[in-house]
Amino acid sequence: MPDSRVTIQAADSALKVSADRNALKQILINLIQNSLDAIPPEGKVMIRAFLENSRPHRLIIEVSDNGGGIPTEDLPRIFEPFYSSKASGSGLGLAICKQLAEQMDGQLVITSQENRGTTARLKLKKV
């Protein structure tokens, strides 16, 4: 059954990137699952794909949520291997995602505000 808490918005034209299909899939699954884990039952996750305004040769895939956000003191550590704020988390998900993004000559950037939500931006080269 589709999850009504998730909205997908993409640019009108086809957006092609230079990326490893399996790595891209792993990154997106992890980012979307993290957002779904962070939101309350009435929360929302937005997935968008668009060209970066200042650098049109880069595609941004953005996963945003309106969950509780990441505490300010935790934000600098989120890409550290084995660091997790989840009781059942391994702390490897975001570390692996960042490494996979960099292997594709991309970048993974996460911003967050407590009690407002989190946004993950995967930046990839457009072909």
Give the CA-trace dihedral at 112, 113, 119, 121, to 10 degrees. -40
pLDDT tens, residue by residue, 69-79: 999 999 999 99
pTM score? 0.88
Kindly state the percentage of the chain with pLDDT values over 90: 63
Residue pair 39/119 in contact (Cβ under 8 Å)? The answer is: no
pLDDT at 1 over 50: no
pLDDT at 89 over 50: yes
For the chain, the domains span 6-125
Determine the angle formed by the axes of helices 93-103 and 21-38, rounding to 10 degrees: 150
Q: What is the pLDDT of residue 65?
A: 97
Q: Calculate mean pLDDT across residues 87-96.
A: 82
Q: Judging by beta carbons within 10 Å of its beta carbon (0-12, 13-18, 19+), is residue 49 exposed, middle or buried?
A: middle
Beta-carbon count within 10 A of 66 CB: 19
Could you say which architecture CATH assigns to the domain 6-125? 2-Layer Sandwich (3.30)
Q: What is the pLDDT of residue 63?
A: 98
